[in-house]
Amino acid sequence: MGLRAQAHPLSEIVPLGWHMPAGAFDGILAGSANAFRQGGPLLGELTGQPVYAVGASTAEAAGKSGFRVAVTGKGGLQTVLDELAGQRLRLLRIAGEDHVPLDPPAGVTMATVIAYRVAALPVSPDLAFSLERGAVVLLHSASAAEHFAAEVDRLGLARCAIRLAALGERIAAAAGPGWASVSAADEPNDPALLALARELCHEPLRG
Separation between Cα atoms, residue 25 and residue 92, nearest integer Å: 6
List the beta bridge partners of residue 89: 108
The 10s digit of each residue's pLDDT in 51-84 is: 999 999 899 999 999 999 999 998 789 999 999 9
Separation between Cα atoms, residue 2 and residue 22, nearest integer Å: 51
The 10s digit of each residue's pLDDT in 17-46 is: 999 999 999 999 999 999 999 999 999 999
Separation between Cα atoms, residue 153 and residue 148, nearest integer Å: 9
Decide: 180 and 158 in contact? Cβ < 8 Å.
no
Read off the pLDDT band of 2 (50, 70, 90): confident
Overall pTM > 0.85: no
State the DSSP code for 120.
E
DSSP string covering the chain, please? ---------SEEEEE----PPSS--SEEEESSTHHHHS--GGGGGSTTSEEEESSHHHHHHHHHTTPEEEEE-SS-HHHHHHTTTT--EEEEEEEESS-----PPTTEEEEEEEEEEEEE-PPPHHHHHHHHT-EEEEE--HHHHHHHHHHHHHTT--GGGEEEEESSHHHHHHT-S-SSEEEE-SSSSHHHHHHHHHHHHTSPPP-
Q: In what order do the strands lie in the sheet with 135-139?
A: 135-139, 162-166, 181-184
Separation between Cα atoms, residue 82 and residue 162, nearest integer Å: 36
Mean per-residue pLDDT, 198-203: 88
The 10s digit of each residue's pLDDT in 142-194 is: 889 999 999 999 999 999 999 999 999 999 999 999 999 999 999 888 899 99
